[in-house]
């Protein structure tokens, strides 16, 4: 949704937001050294990822750090979604 074409040819803000979101998620996967968890909005911003809810911000950070990723520095939407679903109790 964030990177949807608005017709003006300028999706730089969407690209920046997506890049920032992925950086926050990767940082959480690596153990959240900065102490700031990826937000629900950042998680839901990733194409193919949904159902992150506001009640679970810190649980998602912990869950991401404990998650299983083929390439932790390049998590797929499917891997991130699996972590979210598990943190949500298997939804």
3-state secondary structure 32-45: CCCCCCCCHHHHHH
**Residue 4 forms part of a structural domain:** no
Residue 56 burial (CB count, 10 A) = 18
31 lies in a domain? yes
- pLDDT at residue number 55: 73
The answer to whether residue 48 sits within a structural domain is yes
Instruction: Write the pLDDT tens digit of every residue in 25-50.
Output: 999 999 999 999 999 999 999 999 99
The answer to the question of residue 6 being in a domain is no
pLDDT at 70: 98
Is 47 among the domain residues?
A: yes
**Residue at 5 is within a domain:** no
Q: Is residue 18 part of a domain?
A: yes
Q: Which domain holds residue 17?
A: 12-87
Flag whether 24 is in a domain: yes
45-78 confidence digits (pLDDT tens): 999 999 999 776 668 999 999 999 999 999 999 9
- Interatomic CA distance for residues 89 and 79, integer angstroms: 16
Tally of domains within the chain:
1
């Amino acid at each position: 949704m964030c990177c949807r074409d608005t017709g003006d040819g300028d999706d730089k803000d969407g690209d920046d937001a997506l890049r920032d979101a992925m950086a926050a998620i990767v940082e959480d996967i690596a153990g959240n050294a900065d102490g700031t968890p990826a937000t629900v909005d950042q998680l839901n911003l990733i194409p193919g990822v949904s159902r992150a809810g506001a009640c679970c911000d810190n649980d998602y950070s912990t869950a991401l750090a404990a998650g299983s990723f083929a390439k932790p520095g390049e998590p797929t939407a499917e891997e991130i979604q699996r972590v979210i679903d598990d943190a949500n109790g298997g939804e």
